[in-house]
Amino acid sequence: MSTDHVDRAESRASPALRGPLDFPDSPLSQAARQPLMLGLFLPTQTGGFSQSTYPRDTDWSFDYNRKLALRAEQHGFEFVFGLQQWVPKGGFGGQSHYRENFLDPFISTVALGAQTTRLITISTVHILYGNLHPLHLARFAATADHIAGGKFGLNIVTGYDASEPLMFGMKRIAHDERYERADEFASVMEALWDGSDNVTHEGRFYQLEGAYVSPRPKYGRPIMVSASASQAGFDYAAKHSDIVFTSSPAGAIFERAIEALPQHVAKIRAPYEGTGRSPKVIIFPMIVCKPTREEAFAYRDAIAAQADLESIRAYTARHSGGDAQGWKEHVPADRVLGGHIQIVGDPNDVADALQRLHEAGFDGVQIGFYDYAPELEFFAQHVLPLLEARGLRQAVE
């Protein structure tokens, strides 16, 4: 088999393939003009990200999430994500049947991309499960890119859980090897999106002969995202990712996390040195915001008082069997409210915290709420003006 195109497939740094940030008019370039980009982590699974039975209307249904995405766009948010996870019958159990219903984030975000005009929709894909081939995903993503008019992204994840691969008839691949496979997978997709010629590739993990994808993405390739917290993940990101979605290495409590995050962000950026590119680094804060600080903490305490302990125990047990390096300091109590970090307070407190995240090196945040619809509206009405006044946001026309 000819290997004429192996070098192109394995070299992300090649100038042959330009990415969305190389096009000033791309949706990602326009979003990146915001000092602090805003995203919404969509609750496309039962219980969203909070393991509590305290009353709320947050819902996993597509219609609910469609309305959230459209409201986020109207409020000037730049992007939305969907989570990917594979769970057994009953999800994580408990009174809430946590995450039992689970919309596929690829299908749902592609559907949202057809209904939005500016909002970037990012699909999370476990690329190593089953027999997913880079030729398949390259065409799927190119099609999604055209549906969304260039505002589509792929969040590439490799899977840390020990039980998920069993559903696909396979065992979990070792941590660093997962990123070696992901590197080759992404490199092959990039060669296909480049489209200079048919792609023949004889690699360690993937083989193609005379493969081609057309139409090609609008801005060189779809927006590439990775969720990374390890050195292997950071090295992968430097080759392929426009956006790096990371977690707190010091747990979810904000004051502890903010001390560790500047050094953490520096580790993410270091492998990009010499590539001519710079990543947009984002994190997931769960925000509890009320008119007064006292009301916010009372609301948080009410959520915590109705913790779904059975589902938290099940989630913790499963998570403990994983090899992710991003949540080592997170504890089961963090799961009641959820989030990589937790911001609780009045609008000024929330604006202060988001400003500190920006000062720590973050380019954006992907926000979660407990009761999404009303809390998104409160955030937009009371926090967004403060962010604009501080120069963290520019008004969106």
Distance between CA atoms of 229 and 237, rounded to whole angstroms? 10
Length of the chain: 397
Distance between CA atoms of 36 and 31, rounded to whole angstroms? 9
Split into its structural domains, the chain has a count of: 1
pLDDT at 330 over 70: no
Q: Residue 160: its pLDDT value, please?
A: 87
Q: Is residue 46 part of a domain?
A: yes
Q: Residue 322: its pLDDT value, please?
A: 66
Model-wide pTM > 0.75? yes
Q: Is residue 39 part of a domain?
A: yes
- Segment 260-298, tens digit of pLDDT: 999 999 999 999 998 989 999 999 999 999 999 999 999
Q: Is residue 397 part of a domain?
A: no
Distance between CA atoms of 75 and 393, rounded to whole angstroms? 12
Q: Residue 323: its pLDDT value, please?
A: 63
Q: Is residue 395 part of a domain?
A: no
Q: Residue 3: its pLDDT value, please?
A: 39
Q: Residue 11: its pLDDT value, please?
A: 36
Q: pLDDT band for 15, please (50, 70, 90 cuts).
A: very low
What is the CATH number for 352? 3.20.20.30
Query: How many other C-beta atoms are found inside a 10 Å radius of the C-beta of residue 397?
Result: 4
How many whole angstroms from its chain centre is CA 118? 18
Q: Is residue 396 part of a domain?
A: no
Q: Is residue 392 part of a domain?
A: no
Structure-token match 């023949």, residue found = 200
Contacts of 91 (CB under 8 A, 6+ apart): 45, 46, 47, 97, 98, 99, 100, 101, 102, 311
Q: Is residue 393 part of a domain?
A: no
Strand partners for 344: 288
Q: What is the mean pLDDT of the chain?
A: 93
Q: Is residue 68 part of a domain?
A: yes
Question: Phi/psi of residue 87, each to 5°?
Answer: -125, 155
Domain holding 373, by residue range, is 6-386
- Segment 118-164, tens digit of pLDDT: 999 999 999 999 999 999 999 999 999 999 999 999 999 999 899 99
Would you state the structure tokens that stand for residue 156, as one six-digit string? Answer: 């590439």
